Amino acid sequence: MAFKKYSLAAGVLSASLLLGACSSDSTSGDKKSSGGKDDKVVVDIFQGKVEIADQLKALTEEYTKQNPNVTFNIETVGGGADGAAALKAKFASNQAPDIFTNGGDQEALVWKDKFEDLSDQPWIKDAFEGTLDGMTIDGKVYGMPFNMEGYGFAYNKKLFEKAGIKELPTTYSELEEAAKKLDAAGITPFSIGYAEWWVLANHGMNVPFAHQADPDAFIKGLNEGTAKIEGNKEFDNFFKLLDLTMKYGNKNPLTTDYNTQVTLFATGEAAMIQQGNWIQPMLDKLDPNLEVGFIPLALSDDPAQSDKLMIDVPSNWVLYNKAPEADKEAAKDFLNWMVTSEEGKTALTKEFKYIPAFKTIDANPEDIGALGADLLKYSKEGKAYQWQFMKYPDGAGQEFGATLQAYVGGQKSKEEAMKALDATWAKLKK
């Protein structure tokens, strides 16, 4: 496995929260912050996971029942560039949230001066090995991992069966053959939502980064000017996979957003979708009987390389270090309650469908859904790649996305796109 330093096989699928939060109004003057136990406190959460908005609201309401002096103001803004811009705007307008989220690694370094040190929190000892790495700076822990997440091509089992696909594809050639069979059966093979830059730039481009013999060495080479994306074999293969999805995907991919992409898949209009286990709640809502699973984003015909899913800590809860003390104390208590109370643990696995990042949270396949169960299976088999896109230079993801969208739209050739990707890295590297 290629995780940071931990093995998901050890049982990492006890991930805790993926309550994709970012932040909301927190330092505004409408709160009492004298710190007394009975003082009314409003904890502002700005979160970017639209698919768990209802579940998060219900969980905070349960906490308020047990702690009547604490209420929550939750603002949900879709992830990606919109969420990042909205979070920056909150800080710029002196409305910084009490709780927000951070992806760790490079993003953590950018935001470090806003973080509260959480090294003394009780949940630290329960986290799986390696799950705190992305938020540990100079020996201090600044974030609590949401959960473990993973992605690949989610597939519709009944549509695969209808097309006569008996063996699941684990290599590029097998994936291409499966797409041809689906197409011949009158089924759209891929639901592609390339209106979303992160589908292409983060989750898509992560695959060729992860496939490098030594991803960290390759990234170091990009930073030092001794390595290039242009002409790299794994990136050549990535563009080949991108071409396959466009050839056998839905029309108008550049105007297909996340919700439309997931809906196309959930309603059986397409057989595969490049997304992660975070779509499980939406699938359950749209079609509770949908039978799904994961297959890899195969770049080559070597199954030892291609037959892996992308699994890692997607994001972390962080606290604003300049929030009122009463807010911070309530926020810390809420986060700890979320991963230690029976109500919190049950909600995270059964309602959020999260794969826990903490040893103290059990997750059954029936709880975390079919996609989570497949992640658990791949993890136990050691077939997982780490997320490398967390290590992009700050702001590079959006530029990568624009470049790849230009390729999808025919405005750039593969060679031009690769040159542009290299130019973006060179411009934004530290």
Are 290 and 403 in a shared domain? yes
Are 18 and 40 in a shared domain? yes
Task: Indicate which CATH number applies to the domain containing 320.
Answer: 3.40.190.10
Percent of the chain with pLDDT over 70: 90
Are 108 and 256 in a shared domain? no
Q: Is residue 378 part of a domain?
A: no
Residue 289 has a CB neighbour count (10 Å cut-off) of 6
Mean pLDDT score across all residues of the chain: 89
Are 422 and 276 in a shared domain? yes
Q: Is residue 7 part of a domain?
A: no
Dist CA 303 CA 301 (whole Å): 6
The residues, any chain, with a CB within 8 Å of residue 130's CB and separated by 6 or more, are 3, 4, 5, 6, 7
Are 397 and 339 in a shared domain? no
Evaluate if residue 25 carries a pLDDT over 50: no
Evaluate if residue 18 carries a pLDDT over 70: no
**Which pLDDT does position 263 carry in this prediction?**
97
Based on its alpha-carbon atoms, the radius of gyration of the chain, rounded to whole angstroms, reads 21
**Where is the domain boundary, 361, 378, 394?**
361
Which two tokens mark 187?
A: 């089924």
Q: Is residue 251 part of a domain?
A: yes
Which two tokens mark 57?
A: 């609201």
| Res. 378 pLDDT band, cuts 50 70 90 | confident
Could you give the number of structural domains in the chain? 2
**Which pLDDT does position 7 carry in this prediction?**
31
Task: Tell me the average pLDDT across 94-117.
Answer: 94
Evaluate if residue 302 carries a pLDDT over 80: yes
Q: Is residue 70 part of a domain?
A: yes
Evaluate if residue 14 carries a pLDDT over 50: no
Per-residue model confidence as pLDDT tens digits over 186-243: 999 999 999 999 999 999 999 999 999 999 999 999 999 999 999 999 999 999 999 9
- Whether the Cβ atoms of residue 133 and residue 108 lie closer than 8 Å to each other: no
Are 165 and 265 in a shared domain? yes
Q: Is residue 374 part of a domain?
A: no
Task: Tell me the average pLDDT across 406-420.
Answer: 98
Are 128 and 231 in a shared domain? no
Are 170 and 125 in a shared domain? no
Least confidently predicted of 200-209, 327-336, 378-387, 415-424: 378-387
**Where is the domain boundary, 361, 377, 395?**
361
What is the biggest distance separating any 2 CA atoms in the chain, rounded to whole angstroms?
A: 68
Per the structure, the complete domain to which residue 115 belongs is given by 14-147+313-361
Q: Is residue 22 part of a domain?
A: yes
Task: Tell me the average pLDDT across 250-259.
Answer: 97
Are 128 and 188 in a shared domain? no
Dist CA 417 CA 401 (whole Å): 10
Nearest to 42 by CA among 99, 115, 114, 92: 99
214 CB burial (10 A radius; 0-12, 13-18, 19+)? exposed
**Which pLDDT does position 38 carry in this prediction?**
61
**Segment of 3-12, 144-153, 237-246 carrying the highest mean pLDDT:** 237-246
Per-residue model confidence as pLDDT tens digits over 33-86: 434 456 899 999 998 888 889 999 999 999 999 999 999 999 988 766 678 889
Evaluate if residue 319 carries a pLDDT over 50: yes
Are 304 and 355 in a shared domain? no
Q: Is residue 196 part of a domain?
A: yes
DSSP assignment, residue 360?
A: T
Least confidently predicted of 121-125, 158-162, 392-396: 392-396
Per-residue model confidence as pLDDT tens digits over 284-300: 999 999 999 999 999 99
Q: Is residue 332 part of a domain?
A: yes
- Whether the Cβ atoms of residue 131 and residue 145 lie closer than 8 Å to each other: yes
Least confidently predicted of 17-26, 144-153, 270-279, 310-319: 17-26
The residues, any chain, with a CB within 8 Å of residue 77's CB and separated by 6 or more, are 22, 46, 47, 48, 83, 86, 87
Are 160 and 131 in a shared domain? no
Are 222 and 350 in a shared domain? no
